[in-house]
Every structure is written in structure tokens, then in C-alpha cells.
């Protein structure tokens, strides 16, 4: 069996993008709708982002959460009316 050299040079690459908020409307194979929301953890914002951007990111996530909740309520009412 040939001896393989394992590359252990794991450079840390600085990420230039971050997914802050995500909203998904899905349907499963039984016809059920699923709403999924994902928000960047508030306790990690100050750790991962520059201080001058942290306040804006907190505000945007707070507003995104509010809008996602309103959108979820809208979908629930729509499904109730159609069902």
C-alpha cells in the first residue's frame, strides 16, 4: 500500500460573507407546509463583526425576526382560509 502524505496546512481563511437571516417555506411529501426561520445568534455578533457594524446588525436581525413572525402568521391565516 503506497504511503500518502497528508496535507496538514490548514490556513484560516477570512470569510467575506455571513448569512444573517433566512426564511423558508417548505412543503413535505404529506402536503404539510413548514415554515423555518434562522437568525444569526445575537451573542456572536460582537465577537464576529466589527464594532461599528454590530448595532446595525442587531437592529436588522430584530426587524427580520418581527417580519418573519408576521409572515408566518400571514401564511397560517392563508392556510386556514384555504383549508
pLDDT per residue as tens digits for the range 38-59: 999 999 999 999 999 999 999 9
The number of angstroms, rounded, from the C-alpha of 2 to the middle of its chain's C-alpha atoms is 44
What gap in Å lies between CA 17 and CA 48, rounded to an integer? 11
List the alpha helices (DSSP H) in the chain: 42-48, 51-82
Q: Give per-residue pLDDT as tens, 12-42.
A: 777 788 899 999 999 999 999 999 999 999 9
Q: What is the pLDDT of residue 44?
A: 95
Domain layout of the chain by residue ranges: 40-83
- Tell me the pLDDT band of 2, cut-offs 50, 70 and 90: low
What gap in Å lies between CA 38 and CA 36, rounded to an integer? 7
pTM summary value: 0.75
Amino acid at each position: 500500500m503506497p504511503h500518502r502524505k497528508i496535507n496538514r496546512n490548514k490556513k484560516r481563511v477570512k470569510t467575506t460573507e455571513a448569512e444573517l437571516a433566512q426564511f423558508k417555506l417548505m412543503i413535505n411529501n404529506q402536503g404539510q407546509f413548514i415554515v423555518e426561520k434562522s437568525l444569526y445568534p445575537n451573542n456572536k455578533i460582537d465577537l464576529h463583526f466589527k464594532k461599528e457594524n454590530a448595532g446595525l446588525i442587531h437592529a436588522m436581525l430584530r426587524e427580520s425576526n418581527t417580519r418573519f413572525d408576521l409572515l408566518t402568521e400571514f401564511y397560517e391565516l392563508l392556510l386556514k382560509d384555504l383549508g
